[in-house]
Structure 1
Amino acid sequence: MVSRELGVTAATLSQWRETFLEAGESGFKPQPARESVEVGRLREKIGEQAMENELLRERIARLEQNRPLARRRSRK
């Protein structure tokens, strides 16, 4: 009855039950590989933000010293 409600075979439902009983809740947690991809993407973003902050601090320092700013290059 449950397999019909979920639209899966009884064998699939049994497999899910066995997986859960063998590994408990940890068997259904997201895989570390997916998390590591997200962590890598976020670290890259943090690096970009840190570089941008450093450049902005340099520009502020130059403005405060009344020195001309370097010309900005296009990001194309």
Structure 2
Amino acid sequence: MLKKANVNGVAPEVLEGARSATESASGAAVEIKRWSTGRKRSVVLRLLRGEPVDAVSREVGVTIAELEQWRELALAGMDAGLKARTSDPLEARLNDAVRHVGELTMEIEILRKERELQARRPLTGRRSLT
């Protein structure tokens, strides 16, 4: 059975639920010690859309240098994502070569073990030529 909470005497902003992570009810910036990827992404998108860095910095309570670093990391990640090829012919050849080397290595190990087993056996199974 569910209990209903008594909401009398509770501040309205507590009951509102989703409030900006960087603003309190009065609109003043609140210091956030740990930023999630989603929050960083939203701030960087604001910067990429052309909002002034100093205004965003004041609003979210993060230094301009850190915001610039977030933007550079985002752009670097975007560059890396755009450079990725869907089907690189050199990578396909490399994968084939690695697979072939693995097969040859297994074959060599099997032959070595067979040679060791034959070396341990006495001269059984050998025929004389005369």
TM-score normalised by length of structure 2: 0.30
User: Which has more radius of gyration?
Assistant: 2
TM-score normalised by length of structure 1: 0.48
Higher helix share: 1
